[in-house]
Amino acid sequence: MYTLLRIDTNILAAVFLFQVLLIASKRLDRKESFNRLFLLLSLAILSALCLETATCLINRRPEAWLMQVSTVLHIILYILSPFIPLLWLFYNIRLLKDRQKIGGAARLALAAPAFVNILFVVSSPFTGSTFRIDASNVYHRGPLLYYTFAISYFYMLSVLAVIIINRKRMLRRELLSNILICLLPILGGAVQVFVYGPLFIWSSTALTLVLEYIFLQETMVQLDGLTGVWNRASFRYYIERRLCRNPNERFGLIYFDLDGLKKINDGFGHAEGDFALRKAVELVRGSVEKDNIIARLGGDEFAVITGGASAEGLAVRIEKIQEAFSLYNKASGKEYSLICSFGADIYDPAKYDDIDGFLRHVDLLMYAEKHSQPEILQ
């Protein structure tokens, strides 16, 4: 009964985190390294929960072979322990730095204390430095376990420092939730370090990740289920964050929609309409730069965010897209043609009071082009 009371929070946390991991793995774009880092972090915390729970279940069991199992499980757990908050640090750095990659030298410098910890942990079965398992298969803390705790706390406090230092680069709705989420594992870990018995480090960390997914899922790139491009929420969040960090930045935006989608649906069925949407996105994706962001805003409307483009550059991109559609229509053998209307312009903060005004402007440009082609409206 005592063991069950110790591990019940871990079991509940593992169940919730497993559900989040399943949902996130289906909804997030795994091609984005930022999203992969989140999924890896979730898997690592879930593993730590399972390892810690297993060590509690076999602690004090008299079977000799379980002593070896307990030793191996503790080695894996204590090697993993500092790397999880280190991953959390990398995650937040990338979150606040617009997904910029951390240099190899910086990663090694940050990870060096965690690698030193590996030496202490692996030697523990012989030296008892980090932990020891006695002849009765009872776990005991070693004197250097506090080194493991210390570097884990160093990484967790570094996350909090990164958030506070970069607070001006965050949207207002993010700041408070990020700080609160960061404090949970710090407080949970403190309880477990100084009060021997309760297991709060990994359960509170798992809760942190669940809350992170709930409150900050806009931050992670989420996909439209049909076309595989970014959804409207990801598109909107990306622009808001980009302008929050650099209000004077100029970027190009192309709006386009698939003309005649209703006719395709009515004449050939909704499955064919879905195919037409996917094919249109495929043609656009093949006609723009790889780092350009494509998002589905709803129905048959899409947007492409380009880099530091000029009006001439946007015109060239649209011309390339139209050429791709023309070539496809000639070779497709379909009874209908894929035709798009476009609106495009460069965002200039001096001309617009807010991003909504610019988005409406580009949307109106797209509809102006559509109305200039009577055959499309029929």
Determine, yes or no, domain membership for 44.
Answer: yes
207 and 237 both lie in a single domain: no
For residue 133, the surrounding DSSP H or E stretch is: strand 131-133
221 within a domain of the structure (yes/no): no
Give the other-Cβ count within 10 Å of 150's Cβ: 14
Instruction: Tell whether 225 is covered by a domain.
Output: no
- Which residue's entry shows tokens 């570094």? 158
Closest CA to 250 of 341, 352, 335, 323: 352
The pLDDT value given to residue 377: 41
Contact 133, 64 (CB under 8 A): no
With a threshold of 0.85, does the pTM exceed it? Answer: no
Order of strands, sheet of 339-346, starting from the edge strand that comes earlier in the sequence: 293-298, 301-306, 252-259, 339-346
Q: Which residues, other chains included, contact 55 with Cβ-Cβ below 8 Å and sequence gap of 6+? A: 70, 73, 74, 77, 139
Final residue before a domain boundary, out of 216, 243, 278: 216
**330: CATH:** 3.30.70.270
Domain end residue (candidates: 174, 190, 216): 216
Residues 206 and 284 in one domain: no
pLDDT number for residue 374: 52
pLDDT, position 10: 83
DSSP letter string, 29-56: -TTSHHHHHHHHHHHHHHHHHHHHHHHH
- Name 346's bridge partners: 252
For each of the chain's 378 residues, which pLDDT tens digit applies?
A: 545 556 778 888 888 888 888 888 877 777 777 778 888 888 988 998 899 889 888 888 888 889 999 999 999 999 999 998 898 888 778 766 655 556 778 888 889 999 999 999 999 999 999 999 998 888 899 999 999 989 988 998 998 888 888 777 666 666 766 777 778 787 877 777 676 656 677 778 887 777 777 765 655 567 788 888 888 888 888 888 778 777 788 888 999 998 888 889 888 898 999 999 999 999 998 888 887 889 998 888 999 998 766 788 888 889 999 999 999 999 988 888 898 899 999 988 888 878 888 888 898 998 888 777 655 444
For the chain, the domain total comes to: 2
Give φ, ψ of 99 to 5 degrees. Answer: 65, 25
Tokens, residue 352:
């617009």
Examine the domain organization and report whether 34 and 67 are in the same domain: yes
Pair 201, 273 in one domain: no
- In whole angstroms, give the CA distance from residue 85 to residue 201: 11
Q: Verify that 360 and 254 share a domain, yes or no.
A: yes
Q: 250 and 207 share a domain?
A: no
Structural domain span for residue 311: 232-377
Residue 248 has phi, psi (to 5 degrees) of -95, 10
In a domain, 200, yes or no: yes
Alpha helices in the chain (DSSP H): 2-27, 33-58, 64-96, 104-127, 145-165, 172-194, 201-216, 232-245, 261-268, 270-285, 311-332, 355-371, 374-377
- Verify that 207 and 240 share a domain, yes or no: no
Q: Write down which residue in 216, 248, 265 finishes a domain.
A: 216
16 within a domain of the structure (yes/no): yes
Q: Is residue 91 part of a domain?
A: yes
Q: Does residue 90 share a domain with residue 207?
A: yes
Q: Which residues pair with 254 in a beta bridge?
A: 304, 344
Instruction: Say which DSSP state 222 is in.
Output: B
Bridge pairing between strands 252-259 and 339-346: antiparallel
Is 143 in the same domain as 60?
Answer: yes
User: Same domain, yes or no, for 170 and 256?
Assistant: no
Helix (H, G, I), strand (E, B) or coil at 143: coil
- Determine the residue type at 195: V
Structural domain includes residue 277: yes
26 domain residue, yes or no: yes
Q: Are residue 209 and residue 291 in the same domain, yes or no?
A: no
Residues 244 and 107 occupy one common structural domain: no
Burial zone of 216 (CB within 10 Å; 0-12 exposed, 13-18 middle, 19+ buried): middle
